Structure 1
């Protein structure tokens, strides 16, 4: 952390913004293997939340690599830095009063826990999109598993880099064969039932 800096408090704070938006700001953090369906489900969930009059923003793994994290590679050290940056951005969006959805493999428990540590109790909602590796490989929407198996991609999660599955996520979402729309609706209803969204 830089030295000689002090956090400047603003008159319009998180509670004021949240009250105006009539919602509880939070981070809904979708984690799972590549091809598990995180981005698809997050996109559908955001649409559902938007239709319910929530103010949201979706941070997607590929999208942030075009700008904010465009200078990072995919080895373990770069993955940690990628998630650190996303965590800090997510915290700012929560401070803005928004419901933030993220779709990142985020393979390491410590990195997900770091984001949780930045937020208040109940503001970090971990969603494990639990899709078996063999199903993700069959889908392989970007052809990445094929490249990883052939050695063209190194440090690929699930192949030659570990994925540490959440032990006790707020929502454990199994997703294999059903339509993505149905899975997103299941997630939305689970979030409502647990009181994370209205």
Structure 2
């Protein structure tokens, strides 16, 4: 459930950070991001409360927004569930990322590995490999981007998801609508990840 004062709080934060704020997806982000895993789930997908900052000199376009979708309950007797979460998105030519998907590893993923589903692991970072499932098309290119610094960061900072493709980067915690009081911290964390994965 979204707090009734959330829009007002985020609009005030946008002003403090020198961002623009839009209650609706006036920038057309949803069609732009439809190829990412996050935006392929459920139905009734919606982006709202968008904080946006474009920096031409440093060549990046950052957006922080609330994303929601409806997940089918699996039966007629149970009500479908509305999922809300906050997303950090950056578009920048500083990135040049391979197609990749980092997500917390679950028991289901571990069972999948036994059945032959691939996960990119790092022998020197067993803790990271135990905590996360990393997949993508070009393993060598992905390994190039996951430096020791990146691996250390996500070993310490658990439960985050990252999707990358070309000049696009998404950063979020699945199913977590970040409280408005913590959005600035989330933004700083997103900037850290952008800095780590940028070329």
- State TM-score, norm by structure 1: 0.27
**TM-score computed with the length of structure 2 as normaliser:** 0.27
More strand by share: 2
